Structure formats: structure tokens, C-alpha cells
Amino acid sequence: MASTFFEGMFALPQANGDNCDTMRDGLCVVPMEENAKTLDPLLRLCHPSSINDPPILELDAIQSIFNAANKYSMEAAEFFILRALVCTRYLEKEPLRVFAIACLLKAGKEARIAATATLALADEDMVYIPELQLLSGADHFHLQKYRKACTNRARDVANDLSWMIIRPENNDIWYICTQTATTCDYICPLEDYPEEGVAAWWLIDYIGPCKQALEKTPAGKTVKAYELLVAAAQVAKNCPDCGMTELGQFSAHPMDQHGSTSISNPSPVDAPAPFNDPRADVILRSSDNVDFRCYKALLALASAFFEGMFALPQSTGKGINAMKDGLCIVPMEENAKVLELLLKLGHPSSINNPPILELDVIRSVFNAASKYNMEDAEIFVLRSLVSARYLEKEPLRVFAIACLLKAAKEARIAAAATLALDVGKMPFVPEMRDLSAADYFYLQEYRRACASTASHEADQDHLDWITNDFGESFPCSESLDICPATALKDGDTIVLTWWWDNYIIPCRQMLEKTPAGKMVKAHELLVAAAQATRNCPDCANNSFIGLVAFSARFCEKIDEAISKVPLSRLSMQ
């Protein structure tokens, strides 16, 4: 009744029991692949006792139990398991883990429920979970993108309170204060309500903290946090009206609402030069029927695989496809595009004219080079992967490919290159479908650590090196009356404030999103800072030149600090 699989199995003729291994206490024994931890709750889900006493399914076992239920066609059990997966206790305590398990089970509805539950977690609270080893990087990327979109939406709701309409019939007038400015310190007039007093405390002491909290945890329940409500209400306690407002009622407002075609192989064609040499002594035929005429000696030098193959006794050539123009044909699994690039890496012509490897084929070429034991080709491919043009334009894609190739050194180089990407604008790359979510998680963790390190380098207590490297930074000989961008320090030393307000502070803000040293040398930053000195003749003459020199050293200091941030926990799945 519970399983169509067992229904069909028991409909077949049964064993006669002569074999002792198949019987116990006169009953037929059916061997199962599942262990007792999985089989026990699975069978309980089908037992009448589960109606009043359903089994409690732990997250550790849910995936294996669901897979067993699916294997044995137990639809009712599958339904129960998915419902147990998104129960409140798991969604509140381990929403990221529920999301990962739901994705692995291809349970779209439950994955969306769990994704919403993760909004109650700040990025820094998203801890590593074992399921990330199996989850695709694409799923983890889409979760991060969803969380970012929710943060933006929550920010919009908190910034635009037009939905907050006065509705006296519902007693929704909690923010109105009838006191005067002399009795309530928090009154502020709003043009929209010229006849009403509107309390300002809730804007400053409730909405303000709400905005900050929503930046990290964009969930509706964030604004109902007891600490937020109490802290805001404490501010209003000295005013009779404000002290009686229904802040809890406002916080409960539902903000969350606001097929393929097969093509037969064509007839074999010859590859272009240099693989059409009539003097060649062997033909390698690609999977899409392109013939590459090669020299056995060159192949043997480049590949230990071919060296061993050609040392074996060769085919007699009597097979219909074994020979062409008197040459032995070696069928290859690689297509012509990959095979041509691979063979060029072992050909003398590549010394002066090495092939250009596009990111789309690097994985295939590297895997082929590894398969045929072409070590020099592997080195060349990895060097091409971390070339400047790819690191500058597609660092995230380079990182994903390096992880998939288990190239740890190149993955770390690419991870550092991703620091030039805005954390909120990380693009989706196709390799994420194969990338382990664990590796993507570690990359995000690394970027957060680098952002913290880089922004700290712009703190005032980290800038002692300025005096050591530059002496008196940005000196100005003009008086305070002429140069408004100076300030007295320690009573007698004049220092400039324009470079701090108009350069260092913007740098710090930028480094929190894109923690790469080169960002502080951006032309726009330097020009904007220099513009602040235009009213002082002395500063105007020296500021830009000084900033260029300073930014170069500042860049070095940031990169030096970031280089000490480790990225050592890549899973390389």
C-alpha cells in the first residue's frame, strides 16, 4: 500500500525458502541497501502507528531517507519528509542547511522557503555546513543574489513610508503627538500633515536602527525585535503622548507583502596546417571526424601516454576504418577544437606562435592534457588561465575553473583578483553549475576578511606610515584665513583635513565593497579630492601630485595587508 515498488515485487513468484539465507522464522528475508538508521524511519512513515506518533527526522538523515522513499516509490513518505525538512525548528536554527538539502533533493518549493528563512541571518553568520560540499556553486550564487535583492527591497520599504496611511478607524495613529514642542522634545512638523504634530523620535530611534538592521538581515521579523522596540520606546517615555504609542502595532505591519537534436557524424576531413603534413606517420581522428596528421616522435616527446602506446605492437590495418593513405588512424574522444589546441601545445610551431586558449575550452584542454600525461601542456594551460586579460575581465570565472581543475595556486590568484569586483555585483558564471558551493562559500568568506583588512588600513590609527614615508603630509604654507581646509592639531601643528574628508574617507567606503589596492588609485577619486583644494593657491598647486604619490604607496600598503589574509580551505571538489 505504501510503495508501488514493493507492490510489484510481491506480485512476482516468491523464493521457495530452500536457501537458509533467504528465510528467518519462516519468513522471507529481503536484503536492503539502506542502513538501519535510514530504514527504520522510512518504514515507520508507512506504519499505522505514525498517524499518532510520527517519527522525528533529523537533518543528518533526511536526504538519505528521502532518496530511499523516492527509490521505492513511496510518495506519501516523500511528502512527509519534505514537510519535515521545512519545519519551524530547522528553518529558524539551520536555514542554510535546509536550503542546501532542498536543492540537493531538487525540491524547488522547499528551497524557496528555506532561502527566505536565511534572510534572518547576516552574511557573517552564514557558517559552513557539510552539504556545501555537494551543493552546486550556481545554487549558492543564486541564493546570494536573492539575499542581495531582498536587502534592496527592504531598504526601499524602510526609506519610503508612503504605505503608512493614517487610518483612525483602525486606531492606526500611533505616531501622532498632540503635545507642543515645549512639552515634547521630539515634535517635527511634516508638510503632508500640516494640522497634526508628528513625533520625530520614531524616525530617528526606530526607523533609523531598523534600516541598519535590515541591511544585514532583510527579514520582516527583524523590525519586531524586542531590543529595537524597547530602545525606541525608552526615548519617548518623557512625553505623555509619545509614551503611549503603539510601536508594537506598527512593527507588526506586513512589510514582507509590500529537447536536443542529434546530427550524424560527417565524412572525415583533414585538419588545417600544421596538421595536414603529407609526411606525417600517424592520424589522430577527433570525435567529430577531423583527421590530424601527426608525427609519432613528436607525440611521444610531448606525451608519456603516446610514448607507451607507440611502443606497443601496432594494428595490422585490415579493419575498414583502421587506415587512411597508408597511415594508422587513432580514434580520439576529444572534438576537433580541443584536439587542435592540445596538439599545438606539443608542436614546434607553438614556440614562436603559442595558441590562444579561450576560457570556454581551458577545462577541456587541461583535462585532455592530464589524460594523455602532457605535463608541459598542463603548465601552459594553467598559466593561460591566470593571464592578466582573464583576471581583469572575468576573475570569478577563472576562480571557478581553477577550483574545478583542482589548481589551488591559480584559485588563490583568481580569488585575489575578484576583490576588484563590487561585492553586490558578483556576476553569474556558467562554471558555477559544477563548482562546489563550499568553494564559493570560502571565496565569500575570504572577500569579507579582505574587506575588513583593507578598510582598516584606511583607519586613522593605521596611517602612521604616512609621516614615516612622506614626512609632513600635504603641507600648506597659507594661513587658516586663506586655506579653509586646514585645522589645528595639538595646539600648534597645522595639518590638512581636505585629503582626509575627500580622499581617505571615500577610499574606506570603496574598500568595504571592492577591497583591492588599485581602487585607491582610481582617477575619479584623485580628481574629486583635488577639487576640494581649488580655493587655496598652495594646496591647488601641490595636491594632485602629492595624492598620486600617496595613492601609489597607499595601494602597496593595502595589497601588502591583504596578501596576509589566508584562503586555505578550498575543497576543490
Least confident of 176-185, 278-287, 511-520, 542-551: 176-185
**Model confidence pLDDT, tens digit, residues 499-509:** 667 888 888 88
CA distance 529 to 520: 12
CA 14, CA 28: separation in Å to the nearest integer? 9
Please say if the pLDDT value at position 191 is more than 60. no
More confident call, 327 vs 161: 327
Range in 220-229, 286-295, 358-367 the model is least confident about: 220-229
Give the model confidence (pLDDT) of 358-386 as tens digits.
999 999 999 999 999 999 999 999 999 99
Res 312: pLDDT: 79
Q: Is residue 90 within 8 Å of 98, Cβ to Cβ?
A: yes
Give start-end residues of each CATH 3.30.710.10 domain in the chain. Answer: 267-372
Q: Are 380 and 329 in contact (CB under 8 A)?
A: no
Among 148-152, 242-246, 401-405, 434-438, whose mean pLDDT is lowest?
242-246
Please give the pLDDT value at position 124.
81
β-pair type (269-270, 290-294): parallel
Residue 291 pLDDT > 50 = yes
pLDDT digit string, tens, across residues 91-149 = 888 999 999 999 999 988 899 999 999 888 888 888 888 888 888 888 888 888 888 88
* % pLDDT > 90, the chain: 29
Cell of 365: 584542454
Taking the CA atoms of 342, 345, 348 and 351 in sequence, report the sign of the dihedral they define. positive
What is the rounded average pLDDT for all residues in the chain?
79
Q: Specify the CATH number of the domain 267-372.
A: 3.30.710.10
Give the chain's count of helices (H) and strands (E).
26, 11
C-alpha distance across the termini of the chain, in Å = 41
What is residue 172's predicted lDDT score, i.e. its pLDDT?
45
CA angle 441–444–447, rounded 5-degree value: 150
On the CB side of 564, how many CA atoms lie within 13 Å of its CA?
8
pTM for the whole thing? 0.67
229-288 pLDDT, tens digit per residue, is 667 667 666 676 666 555 555 555 554 544 333 334 567 899 999 999 999 999 999 998
Which of 226-240, 293-307, 419-433 shows the lowest mean pLDDT across its residues?
Answer: 226-240
Beta bridge partners of 23: 28
**What is the pLDDT, as a whole number, of residue 370?**
96
The C-alpha angle with vertex 222 and arms to 217 and 228, in degrees rounded to 5, equals 120
Q: Which of 224, 247, 233 is nearest to 173 (CA)?
A: 247
Q: What pLDDT is attached to residue 493?
A: 46
- Cell triple for 176: 501622532
pLDDT of 286: 94
